[in-house]
């Protein structure tokens, strides 16, 4: 379930006017911006963008970027984009930032459905005039390229059929590959980028039954090069995306120096989907409410905005 | 331009009844089948399938399969499928038939637009309950796998921007790879599976300007293993699909023993698109009309059907 709390909206035009008002004078009224945009769903936000453009002949997102700054700006910017367009931006930024961010590419392409991922690829065309796989491939080499290109190009079957024998065979292939360390990358890539998620979960379960340890735990023991890190993300995202997101949030908050990008990414992309469930998993795991942990780590309008998306009522 | 000649259709139901009539008695009336189905467009054929199923509670395609046989059956069967579904079948058959047919996978995935290829992937899900890349990957290994999976998973950018500097760089990479024979497969695969077709044509032109020979001619000189054969098909299909199809037809007809599968594939898939242009190229290249060459090589109802799709009027 979502955390986003919708407030009554009179009209997109009235929201646009209120935002325009908030931009007036020296410095912007962050509170007003949050009071409006933090309580509108994806459809309403796009309508506000349109209304603002019509009334003021100005791009609302560009205006927001010039009015606010820092983490608050980045969060509002991502929030204002349509989901597929936002994911296209997140992947493009990750490609440019290099290997330490490749888990974001793996996360997005493993969590989305086949249709959603395709919408991201289409949004990427529109925005960057290149294909997503083209940019990924041009920035990587070897097995890491093969894995990442396979992930962003995947169009997985989504039926719920499970081939039990295949799960057994491929659990063995994965086990052999991981055991030998110099993993048989090609087969691991083939299995993880082409099989249906339902089939993969069956394979991961078979792995645990057979070897008494989950495949992700086994991978953590391995030398953690970039390839293994991406692999790890893929398996976690396919196995249990909500649990995966909880861990991203936990790491973002608890590690030395808050990881605002990770925090913003999860909250902005999940607020209209399943952030409520992720919050519950967070509480179960940490015995602290996510809002309380977040409150201690960040500040200002950024904090107010993130807490609003987390469902906090004034 | 298309070659298909449409005749007046009273109603899909009347067509269904006429077909049912043609199936009666010992052996089918091939002439009647051709007179109807050989003059109906893709939309009408699907309506006839629906009408037949409604009236006779029987699948028309299955009935056709039991009524007719051999090359005629195969051609009518392919003709009755929707284009995306037909391509899914053609790719599935090619996967099963192994390396000698992999050029069909390359042909379909290189000729289609990004949207059309996606429709084939979706049809493949519906029909086989697996993804296309999953089956391709499970039947291949190494660089051939990487190339074929990259092709069937591609979603190329389709704008007409050309990056001249990139065309130069990548023409050089292709040249170096081909020259060294033990080609730098990875880079060749990256370029051919991810760049836009417009960009690739610019790269191929740059190659010819620089080296005084087309890249396809250069490739023919190479030892022709399966990988190079697929590469060759991709480059030809992107460079000039109509010219490519002309050559498939020429080889199908002129080589010892007619290649009915190749002949049927090109005629059935292009009859509603650009078969007229392909016929003209054929005449220019061979100084014989395609119909005349076809007439000499095949016979019976199969011949009548193929000539009908080629636009021959009774």
- Out of A15-29, A282-296, B146-160, B286-300, pick the least confident: A15-29
Contact B88, B120 (CB under 8 A): yes
Within 8 A by CB and 6+ apart from A158, the residues are A113, A114, A196, A197, A198, B125
Please state the rounded mean pLDDT for residues A278-307: 96
Looking at residue B182, its pLDDT comes to: 61
Contact B216, B200 (CB under 8 A): no
Looking at residue B97, its pLDDT comes to: 96
Please state the rounded mean pLDDT for residues A216-245: 88
Class of domain A164-239 as given by CATH: mainly alpha
Looking at residue A177, its pLDDT comes to: 86
**A29 or B49, which is more confident?**
B49
Place of tokens 């005749």: B7
Contact B105, B193 (CB under 8 A): no
Binding-site residues of A for Ca(2+): 23, 25, 27, 67, 253, 255, 257, 297
Residues of B with CB below 8 A from A190's CB? 137-138, 145
Question: Quick check: A314 pLDDT over 70?
Answer: no
Q: How far is A195 from chain B (nearest CA, A)?
A: 6
Please state the rounded mean pLDDT for residues A300-304: 96
Q: What confidence category does residue A256 fall into, taking pLDDT thresholds of 50, 70 and 90?
A: confident
H or E element, residue A214: none
The average confidence (pLDDT) of chain A is: 94
Within 8 A by CB and 6+ apart from A240, the residues are none
Q: Which of B83, B200, B184 is nearest to B151 (CA)?
A: B200
Question: Quick check: B267 pLDDT over 60?
Answer: yes
The verdict on B145 touching A (C-beta cutoff 8 Å) is yes
The verdict on A130 touching B (C-beta cutoff 8 Å) is yes
Question: Quick check: A73 pLDDT over 80?
Answer: yes
- Judge: B146–A142 Cβ closer than 8 Å, yes or no: no
Token code pair at residue B145: 């796998």
Looking at residue B110, its pLDDT comes to: 98
Q: What is the pLDDT of residues A303-313, one digit of tens each?
A: 999 999 999 87
Residues of A with CB below 8 A from B186's CB? 141-142, 145
The number of C-alpha atoms within 13 Å of A305 and in the hemisphere containing its C-beta is 29
Question: Quick check: A183 pLDDT over 60?
Answer: no
Q: What confidence category does residue A218 fall into, taking pLDDT thresholds of 50, 70 and 90?
A: confident
Q: What is the pLDDT of residues B159-202, one digit of tens each?
A: 999 999 999 999 999 998 887 766 578 999 999 999 999 999 99
Question: Quick check: A137 pLDDT over 90?
Answer: yes
Within 68-127 of A, beta carbons closer than 8 Å to B belong to 118, 121-122, 125
Distances, alpha carbon B249 to alpha carbons A168, A234, B71, B252, B286, in Å: 45, 45, 16, 5, 11
Question: Quick check: B103 pLDDT over 60?
Answer: yes
Looking at residue B269, its pLDDT comes to: 98
Please state the rounded mean pLDDT for residues A34-60: 97
The percentage of chain A sitting over the pLDDT mark of 70, rounded to a whole number, equals 97
What is the spatial distance between Cα A160 and Cα A93, in angstroms, rounded to a whole number? 34
The verdict on B198 touching A (C-beta cutoff 8 Å) is no
The verdict on B169 touching A (C-beta cutoff 8 Å) is no
The percentage of chain A sitting over the pLDDT mark of 90, rounded to a whole number, equals 87
Q: What confidence category does residue A248 fall into, taking pLDDT thresholds of 50, 70 and 90?
A: very high
Q: What confidence category does residue A147 fall into, taking pLDDT thresholds of 50, 70 and 90?
A: very high
Please state the rounded mean pLDDT for residues A278-296: 97
Please state the rounded mean pLDDT for residues B126-147: 97
Please state the rounded mean pLDDT for residues A224-249: 94
Looking at residue B111, its pLDDT comes to: 98
Looking at residue B291, its pLDDT comes to: 96
Question: Quick check: A227 pLDDT over 80?
Answer: yes
Question: Quick check: A160 pLDDT over 80?
Answer: yes
Q: What is the pLDDT of residues A104-122, one digit of tens each?
A: 999 999 999 999 999 999 9
Fold of A241-309: Annexin V; domain 1 (1.10.220)
What's the CATH number for A12-68?
1.10.220.10
Q: Which of B138, B136, B132 is nearest to B120 (CA)?
A: B132
Is B83-152 the same fold as B12-68? yes
Place of tokens 């997985």: A156
- Judge: A154–B138 Cβ closer than 8 Å, yes or no: no
Q: What is the pLDDT of residues B12-30, one digit of tens each?
A: 999 999 999 999 877 778 9
- Rounded to the nearest 10 degrees, the angle between the axes of helix A30-37 and helix A70-80 is 30
Looking at residue B181, its pLDDT comes to: 66
Which pTM was predicted?
0.93
CB pairs under 8 A between A and B: 87
Looking at residue B314, its pLDDT comes to: 65
Question: Quick check: A26 pLDDT over 90?
Answer: no
What's the CATH number for B83-152?
1.10.220.10
Spell out the alpha helix ranges (H) of A112-184.
114-128, 132-139, 142-152, 164-179
Q: What confidence category does residue A203 fall into, taking pLDDT thresholds of 50, 70 and 90?
A: very high
Looking at residue A225, its pLDDT comes to: 85
Please state the rounded mean pLDDT for residues B56-79: 96
Report domain extents, chain A: 12-68, 83-152, 164-239, 241-309
Question: Quick check: A275 pLDDT over 90?
Answer: yes
- SS percent in chain A: helix, strand, coil, step 5: 75, 0, 25
Please state the rounded mean pLDDT for residues B85-103: 97
Cβ-nearest to A157 among B118, B134, B141: B134
Q: What is the pLDDT of residues A76-94, one digit of tens each?
A: 999 999 999 999 999 999 9
* Among A84, A120, A149, A151, the residue to mutate for chain B (most B Cβ within 10 A): A149
- Judge: B129–A186 Cβ closer than 8 Å, yes or no: no
What is the spatial distance between Cα B156 and Cα B115, in angstroms, rounded to a whole number? 9
């Amino acid at each position: 379930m979502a955390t986003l709390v919708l407030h009554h909206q009179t009209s997109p035009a009235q929201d646009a006017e209120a935002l325009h008002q908030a931009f007036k004078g020296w410095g912007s009224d962050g509170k007003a911006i949050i009071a409006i945009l933090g309580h509108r769903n994806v459809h309403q936000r796009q309508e506000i963008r349109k209304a603002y453009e019509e009334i003021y002949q100005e791009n609302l997102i560009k205006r927001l970027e010039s009015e606010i700054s820092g983490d608050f700006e980045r969060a509002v910017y991502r929030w204002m984009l349509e989901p597929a367009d936002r994911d296209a931006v997140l992947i493009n930024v990750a490609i440019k930032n290099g290997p330490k961010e490749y888990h974001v590419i793996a996360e997005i392409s493993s969590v989305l459905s086949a249709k959603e991922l395709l919408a991201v690829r289409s949004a990427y065309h529109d925005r960057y005039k290149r294909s997503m796989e083209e940019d990924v491939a041009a920035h990587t080499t070897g097995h890491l390229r093969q894995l990442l290109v396979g992930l962003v190009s995947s169009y997985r079957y989504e039926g719920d059929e499970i081939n039990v024998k295949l799960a057994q065979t491929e659990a063995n292939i994965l086990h052999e590959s991981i055991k030998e360390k110099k993993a048989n990358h090609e087969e691991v890539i083939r299995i993880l980028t082409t099989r249906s998620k339902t089939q993969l979960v069956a394979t991961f379960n078979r792995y645990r039954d057979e070897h008494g340890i989950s495949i992700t735990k086994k991978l953590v023991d391995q030398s953690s090069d970039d390839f293994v890190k991406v692999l790890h993300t893929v398996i976690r995202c396919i196995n249990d995306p909500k649990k995966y997101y909880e861990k991203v949030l936990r790491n973002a908050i608890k590690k030395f120096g808050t990881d605002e990008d990770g925090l913003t990414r999860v909250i902005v992309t999940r607020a209209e989907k399943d952030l409520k469930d992720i919050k519950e998993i967070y509480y179960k795991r940490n015995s602290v409410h996510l809002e309380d942990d977040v409150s201690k780590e960040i500040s200002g309008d950024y904090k107010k905005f993130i807490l609003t998306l987390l469902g906090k009522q004034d």
